[in-house]
Amino acid sequence: MKATKNYVYILKCSDNTLYTGWTVDLDKRMKTHNSGNGAKYTRGRTPVILKYYEEFETKSQALKREIIIKKLTRKEKISLIGSFKIDF
């Protein structure tokens, strides 16, 4: 059985705000956000661009990291994004 990966991600919204979430399928989640059927926050802020993600073995690990990232300041999130090279 294939292990499910869990991802925490940061999106840049069309209004230049940042959104942090988690998923088990980044590609599918991006399509959902950009179709206007994603999180309530992103619905009026499409298109969104994936700027950062981390991969975890368990949902619990991903959710804990999501909480940590959401507590970061905008400046800290931008620094985190800046240190990351997207390979998706």
CA-to-CA distance for 47 and 18, rounded, in angstroms?
12
Tokens of 27: 């590609």
Is residue 1 domain-resident?
no
- The gap from C-alpha 45 to its chain's centroid, in whole angstroms, comes to 14
Confidence of residue 2 (pLDDT cuts 50, 70, 90): low
Can you give the pLDDT at residue 88? 53
CB 45 within 8 A of CB 15: yes
Could you read off the pLDDT of 29-55 as tens digits, one per residue? 999 999 999 999 999 999 999 999 999
What is the spatial order of strands in the sheet that 49-56 belongs to? 18-23, 6-12, 49-56
User: What CATH number should be reported for the domain holding residue 48?
Assistant: 3.40.1440.10
Is residue 88 domain-resident?
no
Is residue 52 domain-resident?
yes
User: What is the number of domains present in the chain?
Assistant: 1
- Count of other CB atoms within 10 angstroms of residue 17: 13
The answer to whether the peptide bond before residue 47 is cis (omega within 30 degrees of 0) is: yes
Could you read off the pLDDT of 4-37 as tens digits, one per residue? 899 999 999 999 999 999 999 999 999 999 999 9
Confidence of residue 85 (pLDDT cuts 50, 70, 90): confident
Can you give the pLDDT at residue 62? 98
Tell whether the model's pLDDT for residue 86 goes beyond 80: no
Comparing CA positions, the residue from 31, 60, 64 lying closest to residue 48 is 31
